[in-house]
Amino acid sequence: MIKVSNIQKSFEGYEAVNDVSLHIHKGSIYGLLGSNGAGKTTLLKVMAGIYKPNSGELSIDNEPVFENVKLKKRIIFLADSLFFYPNTTINQAAQFYQSMYPAWNEKRFNMLENVFQIEKSKKIHRLSKGMQRQVAFWLALSTMPDVLILDEPLDGLDAVMRQKIKNLLIQDVAEREMTIIISSHNLREVEDLCDNVGIMHRGTIIIEKDLDDLKSDVHKIQVAFKDGVPPNFLKDLSVLYQEERGSVRLYIVRGKEKDISSHVLQHKPAIFDVLPLTLEEIFIYEMRDVGYEIENIIV
Ligand SMILES: Nc1ncnc2c1ncn2[C@@H]1O[C@H](COP(=O)(O)OP(=O)(O)OP(=O)(O)O)[C@@H](O)[C@H]1O
């Protein structure tokens, strides 16, 4: 449904996004992750039709996005820094959104007042930073977008509000197949939200996968042997990282859990556990593979 093919975007000769292709399915939540300056915001702005790419193809339902007024009425982009016209109340902003977005749903706007519990007569610029972000979601979700593009969306929101908003997002995806593209540095936050992730570094996508597949491809194991690590133990294991903690070894290993377990059990370990690997750890390993690393990441 959303086609992002070989997108390239430069600023005065600097290539911020270089030949990026993404595979985003309708009704999915796609997490765009990456290092600082990787080009995520630039790519999101290209996808929202704000920037014109230098080359490549970007279309939604086979229609190009850039300068496509009709299509843009179905897309909402929530930037990392929000802008509201000064002195505008929530009610006035709602009227403006209503005039811009034909799918505006007044009933939903009124219903969401119970979720956000902010008076609609309030001037938005006088609200706190987190409350302004709530208003941005309130307005965005009332336009019933088909595509919601979110750049660091949950920054500044308290834990309860983050969960409420995540529930609302999941509800829209489940009930009416809204597609979400979300960029965030808070990997724990997006981990339970996204079904696919793409990791960007220096303008390119270094990995793109279904999150479950990504997790089933890499495992963290902890093992200990009575008489130390057997000589051939590491031979058939694809170890990405290892750490020694007393007599216990921690390994990050690429491969299927079943194969890794049967290999380890052959060597009769005194202790053997497969531990859950977080998205944050996977991210750090993938970044390490491209030379962007820190040490001692196992927690
Ligand atoms: N309008 C612009 N003019 C010139 N350079 C820009 C512009 N916007 C972005 N860049 C450059 O493009 C690169 C990618 O920036 P971008 O904001 O897309 O990264 P990002 O992945 O969102 O980073 P972060 O995670 O730090 O927010 C950076 O080197 C940035 O300086």
Distance, CA 150 to ligand 1 centroid (Å)? 16
0.90 surpassed by pTM: no
**Between the CA of residue 24 and those of 42, 199, 236, what are the distances in Å?**
17, 14, 35
Q: What is the pLDDT of residue 249?
A: 94
Q: What is the pLDDT of residue 216?
A: 86
For β-strands 55-60 and 2-11, DSSP reports them as antiparallel
pLDDT digits (tens, 9 = 90+) for 61-96: 889 999 999 999 999 999 988 888 889 999 999 999
CATH of the domain at 21: 3.40.50.300
The verdict on 27 and 112 lying in the same domain is yes
Establish if 266 belongs to a structural domain: yes
Please give the number of the atom of ligand 1 that sits closest to the Cα of 11: 4
Lookup: tokens for 185: 């540095």
pLDDT digits (tens, 9 = 90+) for 31-53: 999 989 999 999 999 999 999 99
Establish if 208 belongs to a structural domain: no
For Cα atoms 194, 113, 74, give the angle at the middle one, nearest 5 degrees. 50
The verdict on 15 and 102 lying in the same domain is yes
For β-strands 271-275 and 75-78, DSSP reports them as unpaired
Residue 294 has pLDDT above 70, yes or no: no
Ligand 1 pocket test target in 9, 11, 78, 152 with most atoms within 8 Å of CB:
11
The verdict on 260 and 182 lying in the same domain is no
The verdict on 126 and 190 lying in the same domain is yes
Neighbours of 142 (CB within 10 A): 23
The verdict on 230 and 198 lying in the same domain is no
Establish if 299 belongs to a structural domain: no
pLDDT digits (tens, 9 = 90+) for 189-220: 888 899 999 999 999 998 898 988 888 888 99
Residue 274 has pLDDT above 60, yes or no: yes
The verdict on 32 and 160 lying in the same domain is yes
Total domains present in the chain = 2
Establish if 261 belongs to a structural domain: yes
The verdict on 225 and 187 lying in the same domain is no
Establish if 227 belongs to a structural domain: yes
Establish if 219 belongs to a structural domain: yes
203 lines ligand 1 (CB under 6 A): no
42 lines ligand 1 (CB under 6 A): yes
Distance, CA 35 to ligand 1 centroid (Å)? 11
Domain boundary among 141, 170, 202: 202
Please give the number of the atom of ligand 1 that sits closest to the Cα of 80: 27
Domain boundary among 202, 229, 244: 202
Which structural domain range is residue 268 located in? 213-289
Q: What is the mean pLDDT of residues 3-25?
A: 95
Distance, CA 203 to ligand 1 centroid (Å)? 9
The closest alpha carbon to 150, from 202, 194, 112, belongs to: 194
> For atom 31 of ligand 1, which residue has the closest CA?
37
Note whether 263 and 230 are within 8 A (CB).
no
Note whether 178 and 147 are within 8 A (CB).
yes
> For atom 8 of ligand 1, which residue has the closest CA?
42
The verdict on 144 and 57 lying in the same domain is yes
Contacts of 151 (CB under 8 A, 6+ apart): 40, 41, 44, 77, 78, 79, 80, 183
The verdict on 196 and 51 lying in the same domain is yes
Higher per-residue pLDDT: 147 or 228: 147
16 lines ligand 1 (CB under 6 A): yes
Establish if 295 belongs to a structural domain: no
Residue 9 has pLDDT above 70, yes or no: yes
Q: What is the mean pLDDT of residues 272-293?
A: 82
Domain boundary among 146, 175, 202: 202
The verdict on 167 and 260 lying in the same domain is no
The closest alpha carbon to 120, from 206, 19, 111, belongs to: 111
The verdict on 167 and 89 lying in the same domain is yes
CATH of the domain at 274: 3.30.70
The verdict on 140 and 252 lying in the same domain is no
Please give the number of the atom of ligand 1 that sits closest to the Cα of 39: 18
Establish if 51 belongs to a structural domain: yes
Strand ranges in 96-178 using DSSP code E only, listed in sequence order: 147-151
Q: What is the pLDDT of residue 297?
A: 41
> For atom 4 of ligand 1, which residue has the closest CA?
11
> For atom 11 of ligand 1, which residue has the closest CA?
16
Q: What does the DSSP assignment read for 198-252?
A: EEEETTEEEEEEEHHHHHHHEEEEEEE-TTSS-TTTTTT-EEEEEEEETTEEEEE
